[in-house]
Chains A and B, each alone.
Chain A
Amino acid sequence: MDLQTLILNLSRYWADCGCIIQQPYDTEVGAGTMHPETFLRVLGPEPYRVAYVQPSRRPADARYGENPFRLGRHLQMQVILKPSPDDIQGLYLKSLEAMGIDPSVHDIRFEEDNWESPTLGAWGVGWQVLLDGMEITQFTYFQQAGGIDLAPMTAELTYGLERISMFLQRKDSIYDIEWGGGIPYGQIRLTDEREASTYGFEVADVDMLRRHFEDWEGEAVRCLEHDPPLVLPALEATLKTSHLFNLLDARGAVSVTERVGLIARVRANALRAAKAYTEQREAMGWPLGNALEAESQEKGAV
């Protein structure tokens, strides 16, 4: 199964499970979790189901296209189910069938792997899912995001699409997997990985990055202090600062002591954006509904 068929099949499957099929966010992010469709939607009582592919940029992980397993930008398929359904593990195992994997002839394991993002003030507990010894999915029950305790709880599934493709296609290098129509991944992405590595490790203008960090940080604060707060613009500006931090870090320009401070600055705005979002949605009367109230009404009726 080529990469694009994998994406299409997973999208189709999760759409059939009631997910909105979203598109990648058009701001650089380090993980699908930072997409507002995850980071903001998990907040508050509104139920939501969404799936999307998110190209995730991690400049420090780039390897000039020389390492067959590591990329500076990789694709994540992100699935968000809120509240987490009772049969979530069953739904997940069925998604493997959409990938052409018959769970009855494989060894599928859920091994503890908890997740934490200091930058987003978020953490969750869960597993890495192993297929015949290969990690194919990160499975997390979010417990907190934006520093806010969550209720209802969200289940997040993150499929590492290149790794899964390598495994399904039994290729020894990411660059050899077939993307679609017989075209290998390397044809489409190798040059881009090399250039991004050179840029991130050698060329990126540190002074400019620092300036822009300050600028976008200020912009995030301005959006947050606008009356009423501009939630999405504030989050976007914060995501910019997060990416700029990652670039500075890859460039080796962040000292040990500075690192903690910069992360704390990104986090502060992420937390404020999260709070502003919940206030905005509450003021709107939770337009998508209130899962917690629906539950208590049901109980009342019994």
Chain B
Amino acid sequence: MASFLLEIRTEEIPANALPGARRQLQNLFAKHLGDAGFTAFQTTVLSTPLRLIVTITDLPQKQDDRIEEMTGPPSRIAVAEDGSPTKAGLGFAAKAGLPFEQLGRLETEKGEYLAATVNHVGRATSEILAEITPAILSSLRFPKMMRWGLGSFLFVRPVHGIVALLDDEIIPFEAFGITSGTTTVGHRVHSPQPFEISHADRYSETMAQHSVMVDPAERRRNLEITAQHLASTVGCMVHDDPRLVAEHVELVEWPGLIVGSFDRDFLELPPEVVISTLRHHQKCLILEFGDGTLQPFFLAVIDRKDDPEDLIRLGNEWVIRARLADAAFFFSEDRKLPLEDSIAGLERVEWHRVLGSLEAKAERLGRLAVTLSGQLNLDLSTESLCRAARLVKADLTTHMVGEFPELQGVMGGHYLRLEGADEELWTASRDHYRPVGFDGDSPASELGRVLGVADRLDTIAGLYAVGEKPTGSRDPLGLRRAAQAIVKVIIDTGWALDLEKIVAEAVYGVADQATEDIETVKRAVTGFMADRLRRWLTDVTGVAGDTADAVMASGWFNACETVARAEALESVRSNDSFRALALAFKRVQNITDGKAEGDVDSSLFEHTEEKELHDAVLEFHATLERLLPEHRVTEAFEAMIPIADTLDRFFIEVMVMAENNEIRANRIALLKLLGRDFLTLADLSILQIDGGE
């Protein structure tokens, strides 16, 4: 068995392009080799910022020989009277790659056919690799592609070298104007001289000798272990940050780390500012005490093994001091005037091309917040809501948020707090962008929750109204997350909010800017919210998809109440009698579907089972009227269970489709009555129950 090695050496590939490139290479090689008839091979794709690497082991030296029995056209078409080949006969001979005279004959029920036995001699694996590799390379796609030099080639970054070996033999091909060979280079600092790869199996080991760790997983392990060790040397722990570590793994050929420090005075800045400076601007790992308090140290990832003259640490410390001093400057600049004074600037900042400035956004936000607060009977005045709507957006015009957009809301919260604003107000500013989707806590104050929900409703309605709804995997403005956050806040808080009504209000709020039909937008946004609520039911509440569908079919505009029904149904649905009931209910639905409701006349009953069912339905109805106002939903579902037997007996003894019109209508009316009460809780016919019809 042979091993294949491919190394494409480039200039620095963007970190975010590498995982996708590895996936594509994995899939494309598997597919092309599979198409060529190879089966048991193992593909591993590795990368560094400067190389894409494919290794494939367990490849045979050649394809298996293969004998193919081909059946051609019928002889009467392929062979002329005189035995000479017709056009069809010659065509088949060409296809089989044999002279016409060597073709066989095959007798079938339908007559005689031309036939051929073709011996496909397996091609050398090296020959196949030389063919598929350049084809695969030219089909790789990256988020952003470029040209270089004379502009003849398109790739993610300029290509400088190609190593392609099957064991110790070069796989010859040309790509990006470069001929494949055996020469590569090591780490830019530690081993810049060219050298040869002698055998595909020795690649990783040889690269490690030249200070390149080619396996991202190994770089990651290395980085994590070193980080913990270095943190402990200054008595700290590493703030857990898997995303940043994952990015660093793609940014280095050899993961080095240095620990540096900064002036303790900077810890007087809001911790979020220090973290943003270190993490977002400098990509440093944050160090903290076990209790989560920040410490004046950082870890910087470097692409080399050492810091031989201590210059790298000094440089990083200088940059971080400069960055923190810059942040401190912005912080003090922003604090010169009260945040209220920044409101005037909202008009000058565009929020959306069609939907207008931040001032327009804050205006709509205020109005929708008033409506929302009204629907919830909250004790928030119109003036305070409209003022708060502008104040929580005011930090978008500050220096600090201009510099650190991720601190929106948080900075406003700090400024308002330092100015002595009410806790309700400053926490509203801090919290109103939270949670992010289903993750994180809902805002601490009622004001924060109202503003947060109203803000996102306005955003979703606005973007739908101008035709920028999310499609498939494309959701650049994070509308799905925004809608999920709305669902989470409503449920966390226990709001009895009518989602359909508030969505309609949000949509009417953007009617003046809308480029789409408003009623269509309303329906689309309502559907979008339903979709997100269903996601909550399945992913957070944890009910089955059909449970979610069954309860939502009975109404979902009140999200909290829907969750309660979903939980209750999920808990009773495994009960055997309930399963029987659900199956029987399917029958009820089938029989009564499309029939009009009517009054039940007990004098028309002919069987005791009719009366029994009627009594059970009336009792259930009374039970619902007693339980539902008290939100005792589980008991309501449980109250359905005893009806199972009664209904079963009814179906055994009673023929619903009676000859007599009156009796038939009366029986349908009885079932309809049962159905109506059941449907206030859930549409049980949607449940997929084993043993169903």
Contact = CB atoms under 8 A, between A and B. Distances in A.
User: Do the two shown chains form a genuine complex with each other?
Assistant: yes
A151 interface: yes
A205 interface: no
Contacts of A134: 315, 318-319
Interface string B294-308: 000000101110011
Interface string B196-233: 00000000000000000000000000000000000000
A256 B354 CA distance: 10
Interface in A90-107: 103-107
A103 B316 contact: no
B10 to A, nearest CB: 11
Interface of A: 66-69, 83-86, 89, 103-112, 114, 124-125, 127, 131-134, 141, 143, 150-153, 155, 166-167, 170, 172, 252, 255-257, 259-260, 291-292, 295
A108 B316 CA distance: 12
A153 B151 CA distance: 6
Interface stretch (B102-110, B129-137, B142-150, B598-606): B142-150
Contacts of B251: 109, 111
Contacts of A112: 12, 14-16
A109 B144 contact: no
A153 B147 CA distance: 7
B348 interface: yes
B325 A172 contact: yes
B374 to A, nearest CB: 31
A184 B63 CA distance: 74
Given A107-B302, A125-B144, A256-B350, A68 B329 contact: yes
B151 A152 contact: yes
B325 A106 contact: no
B176 to A, nearest CB: 11
Q: Which 8 A-B pairs have the closest CB atoms?
A: A132-B315, A112-B14, A151-B151, A256-B350, A110-B12, A107-B302, A133-B316, A133-B319
Contact of B319 (A86, A108, A127, A132): A132
B146 A133 contact: no
Nearest to B310: A105
Contacts of B326: 67-69
B321 interface: yes
B329 A67 contact: yes
A235 B11 CA distance: 34
B477 interface: no
Contact of A170 (B148, B309, B312, B318): B318
Nearest to B17: A112
Given A67-B329, A84-B149, 20 more contacts: A67-B326, A69-B325, A85-B149, A89-B11, A104-B189, A107-B304, A107-B307, A107-B312, A109-B12, A111-B12, A111-B251, A112-B12, A132-B316, A132-B318, A133-B282, A152-B149, A167-B318, A256-B348, A291-B150, A292-B150
Nearest to B330: A67
A176 to B, nearest CB: 12
A69 B322 contact: yes
A116 to B, nearest CB: 11
A75 to B, nearest CB: 18
A153 B321 CA distance: 38
Contacts of A295: 150
A259 B302 CA distance: 41
Contacts of A260: 353
Given A69-B326, A256-B356, A132 B311 contact: yes
A7 to B, nearest CB: 22
Interface in B582-598: none
A106 B350 contact: no
A161 to B, nearest CB: 16
Contacts of B300: 133
A138 to B, nearest CB: 14
A110 B316 CA distance: 16
Is chain A's interface secondary structure helix, strand, loop, or mixed overall? mixed
B322 A86 contact: no
Give the bracket for the number of chain B residues in contact with chain A: 35 or more
B219 to A, nearest CB: 15
A167 to B, nearest CB: 7
Contacts of A143: 146-147
A166 B325 CA distance: 14
B148 A153 contact: yes
A103 B188 CA distance: 10
A213 B72 CA distance: 79
B148 A141 contact: yes
B318 A83 contact: no
Contacts of B151: 83, 150-153
Interface in B1-43: 11-12, 14-16
Contacts of A172: 321-322, 325
Contacts of B148: 84, 141, 153, 155
Nearest to A69: B326
A109 B303 contact: yes
Interface in B519-578: none
17 contacts: A66-B329, A69-B322, A86-B158, A86-B160, A111-B15, A111-B251, A112-B12, A112-B14, A132-B319, A141-B146, A150-B151, A152-B149, A152-B151, A172-B322, A172-B325, A256-B347, A256-B349
A103 B453 CA distance: 52
Contacts of A107: 256, 302-304, 307, 312, 315
Contacts of A105: 308-309, 311-312
A111 to B, nearest CB: 7
B165 interface: no
Given A151-B150, A153-B147, A256-B357, A106 B318 contact: no
A127 B144 contact: no
Contacts of B356: 256
B249 interface: no
B450 interface: no
A143 B157 CA distance: 12
Specify which of B150, B314, B321 lies most central, judged by the most chain A CB atoms within 10 Å of its CB. Answer: B150
B150 A152 contact: yes
A206 to B, nearest CB: 14
Contacts of B149: 83-86, 152-153
B320 interface: yes
Contacts of B158: 84, 86, 141
Contacts of A114: 144
Nearest to B315: A132
Contacts of B11: 89, 110
A127 B146 CA distance: 13
Contacts of A108: 188
A131 B189 CA distance: 13
A106 B147 CA distance: 30
A72 B308 CA distance: 38
Contacts of A133: 282, 300, 315-316, 319-320
Given A106-B312, A110-B12, A153 B150 contact: yes
Interface string B343-378: 000011110010011000000000000000000000
Nearest to A151: B151
Contacts of B348: 252, 255-256
A83 B150 contact: yes
A114 B142 CA distance: 14
B464 to A, nearest CB: 21
Contacts of B329: 66-68
A107 B302 CA distance: 6
A109 B13 CA distance: 12
A125 B147 CA distance: 9
Contacts of B49: 110
A112 B282 CA distance: 14
A167 B147 contact: no
Interface string B151-186: 100000010100000000000000000000000000
Contacts of A150: 147, 151
Specify which of A114, A256, A260 lies most central, judged by the most chain B CB atoms within 10 Å of its CB. Answer: A256
Given A110-B11, A151-B151, A167 B309 contact: no
B315 A106 contact: yes
Contacts of B14: 112
